[in-house]
């Protein structure tokens, strides 16, 4: 299996509850390495641009408001088959459906306030990493 990268966000519900370390520990224990990380407060432009794929969905406005409500931690994660590995440790979008031991089952509050974002394909990972990080900010 190839070593690849994925993009992660520790969302406002987690930073607000001081769970940055707890979430990062779960990512690391799943075999992912944090090769870039920064805490930012998203602007409306950043949130709407990042989630542009969802702009026709009924939850778009609420999702962008939530992502701008408190700081987030954006990260680049590296590991074997990083996208799939991260999706596995994140768990299902709705924490009620997430498997035991996943980040969302353990920490998420609701389908909206669900603690983490993770890219869903290698192609989107590359786009999302470039949206928030300059190449020199990633130190593998």
Q: Binding site membership for ATP: which residues?
A: 11, 59, 87, 93, 104, 114
Distance CA 91, CA 140 (A): 26
Nearer to ligand UDP, 120 or 122 (CB): 120
Distance CA 114, CA 75 (A): 16
Candidate segments 32-40, 69-77, 110-118, 123-131, binder of ligand UDP by CB under 6 A: 110-118
User: How many degrees, rounded to 5, is the angle at CA 115 between CA 90 and CA 57?
Assistant: 90
Range 84-103, binding ligand UDP (CB under 6 A): 93
Return residues touching ligand UDP (CB under 6 A).
59, 63, 93, 111-112, 114, 117, 120
Residue positions annotated with a catalytic role = 117
């Amino acid at each position: 299996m190839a070593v690849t990268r994925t993009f992660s966000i520790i969302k406002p519900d987690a930073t607000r509850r001081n769970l940055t370390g707890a979430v990062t520990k779960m990512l690391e224990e799943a075999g992912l390495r944090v090769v870039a990380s920064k805490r930012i407060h998203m602007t409306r432009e950043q949130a709407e641009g990042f989630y542009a794929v969802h702009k026709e969905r009924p939850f778009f406005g609420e999702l962008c408001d939530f992502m701008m409500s408190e700081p987030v931690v954006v990260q680049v994660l590296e590991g074997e088959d990083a996208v799939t590995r991260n999706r596995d440790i994140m768990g299902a979008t709705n924490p009620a459906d997430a498997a035991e031991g996943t980040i969302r089952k353990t920490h998420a509050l609701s389908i909206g306030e669900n603690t983490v974002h993770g890219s869903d394909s290698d192609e989107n990972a590359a786009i999302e990493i470039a949206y928030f990080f300059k190449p020199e900010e990633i130190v593998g």
